[in-house]
Structure 1
Amino acid sequence: MNCLAPPLIIPKIFRNVIVSFNMKDEAFGEVALPKSLQGLDHLSFSVALLDGLLAIVPRNELGNEAFQAVWVMKEYGVAESWTKLFDVPIRRSENVFGFTKSGEVLVPKGGGLLSLGPSSRGYVDLHIYDTQEIFLDTYVESLVLLR
């Protein structure tokens, strides 16, 4: 006697979301991603600050090509305000490093660090080499005293 079992349905156990922490209320929250990114499986992205706005830089790979899009949230907490600014072409082994104060994107290329102007779409060689030894992070001034 052959019995066929119904197909096993495995629910999704992950979601693409940014977790926030409100220091005033000491409460965790969620910041929704752009609708076009919410349902993607295995989304890899970094969070940054661009011109005072929350930014995300998701990685997309299509065949041998890769690029990272730059999205900003124009109104904090409003999911509908996410706006895609531009795409940054990269190699599969590279990632956007960060942003300058003027909004340029820092991208590793050929062992060096280049600056990509979003409006000009042109690269400028910063003459910084051996990017394996570079670590960048966002600095925000604050009057909050740390213990």
Structure 2
Amino acid sequence: MYGFRDCSVSSLFNNSFNEANDLDYPRQVPCDVYIVGSVNGLICLVSWEKELFLWNPSIRKYKKLPNSKTKTTLGYCIEQSYGFGYDEFHDDYIVVVIFSMDDFSLPIEVKKYSLKSDSWSIVDNCPSMVPLPEFGRFVNGKLHWITISGPKLCMKRSILSIDLADGKWGEMELPCYWKGGRGVVLSLGVLGSKLSVLCDCDKTYMLDVWLMKEYGVKESWTKMFTIKMPDDQLVYGYLGQIRFHLASRSEILVVFGSSFMIYNLKGDPLRSSKVISSNNWDREEIYIESLVCPFSTVGTEDATKMGLKSLGCETMK
């Protein structure tokens, strides 16, 4: 079974031990959940049974979302890619689900949930691109996924986006991350308020972090830094779970699995930050403490920020 704990992000940057605190997890919410994302203190969860929930641990309120009622195709397994974000124009929280075939053929259907209307709607005109098994990243009012398209032998990878305000789709190219024709994109992320990509070009413990400095401009992709992971860290066990948090102009918090590392942009080696009671953390998300209610139609007007926290979902033994 699973449980949730959190700790203050600011405390991770000193050299003392930090206590991870148990959260009052709703009993009505399944224990086997994944963290889709967090916006303004609201955390979106999805269970193994594909049930969706919005939860604010700061005020101990949650909401189970209505079923999307998507029909399955006989004989095929349907893969579902999720994303969670905020539509500032309509002051609304949005969940997007892309339903696709497990053989990476074309997307079947895309649906969007609106908290304000408490209902699902179909999103049309999705490009012929299938997201990789990773949750969408919310930047600049849009959700983003790394996708593949084209014939199996020459599949193209790019970034698919959807604007949560008008439902328009977009496509962006990934940075030129390969060296000598080799390269692997590990995950899409957010660094500060900008889109980032984590790459491994030589299949080593050297990981490159690229940042899109000007949104939507391919030429603005910049390799910000290269991190040499400690030899004792099984990086490839956490491909989709490596997270970065920009704490200042000189330091970045790197989180993967149960490990919290501080990286200095000046090139100093990684140093660890110990979090007590976090040894079994499988998934992690940065969230802001707020008063936003998952039942409210109000977005950020009542979102009094009280601090930045790191939320961990762990296996309870």
Alignment-derived partner of residue 209 in structure 2: 70
Give the aligned residue type for 2:218: A
- CA contact under 8 A between 2:177 and 2:183: conserved in structure 1? no
Percent of pairs with identical residues: 21
Alignment-derived partner of residue 223 in structure 2: 84
Give the aligned residue type for 1:74: K
Unaligned runs of 5+ in 1: 1-9
1:22-53 Cα distance to aligned partner (Å, 9 max, x none):
1122022112111344x967733211111211
Greater shift in the superposed pair: 41-50 or 16-25:
41-50
TM-score, normalization: structure 2?
Answer: 0.35
Q: Which runs of 4+ in 1 moved over 6 A?
A: none
- Residues 34-113 of structure 1 correspond to what in structure 2 (within 5 A)? 34-37=175-178, 43-62=184-203, 65-90=204-229, 91=231, 93-94=234-235, 95=238, 96-102=242-248, 103-108=251-256, 112-113=259-260
TM-superposed CA distance for 1:14, in Å, is 1.5
| Residues in 2 aligned to 1:46 and 1:108: alpha-carbon distance in whole angstroms | 12
Give the aligned residue type for 2:207: Q
When residues 77 and 108 of structure 1 are mapped into structure 2, their CA distance, relative to the original with a 3 A threshold, is: closer
| Residues in 2 aligned to 1:105 and 1:15: alpha-carbon distance in whole angstroms | 31
Alignment-derived partner of residue 312 in structure 2: none
From 251, 255, 271, the counterpart of 1:124: 271
When residues 71 and 131 of structure 1 are mapped into structure 2, their CA distance, relative to the original with a 3 A threshold, is: farther
- CA contact under 8 A between 1:18 and 1:31: conserved in structure 2? yes
TM-score, normalization: structure 1?
Answer: 0.68
When residues 139 and 27 of structure 1 are mapped into structure 2, their CA distance, relative to the original with a 3 A threshold, is: farther
More strand by share: 2
When residues 104 and 123 of structure 1 are mapped into structure 2, their CA distance, relative to the original with a 3 A threshold, is: same
From 29, 39, 42, the counterpart of 2:170: 29
Greater shift in the superposed pair: 91-100 or 112-121:
91-100
Greater shift in the superposed pair: 115-124 or 70-79:
115-124
Alignment-derived partner of residue 85 in structure 2: none
> 3-state SS of the aligned residue for 1:35?
coil
When residues 35 and 108 of structure 1 are mapped into structure 2, their CA distance, relative to the original with a 3 A threshold, is: closer
TM-superposed CA distance for 1:21, in Å, is 0.7
| Residues in 2 aligned to 1:73 and 1:86: alpha-carbon distance in whole angstroms | 13
When residues 125 and 36 of structure 1 are mapped into structure 2, their CA distance, relative to the original with a 3 A threshold, is: closer
1:60-85 Cα distance to aligned partner (Å, 9 max, x none):
344xx322111100100000000001
TM-superposed CA distance for 1:57, in Å, is 0.7
Tell me how large the CA RMSD over aligned residues is. Answer: 3.5
1:111-131 Cα distance to aligned partner (Å, 9 max, x none):
742211222523232112655
Give the aligned residue type for 2:244: G
Aligned length: 132
TM-superposed CA distance for 1:132, in Å, is 4.3
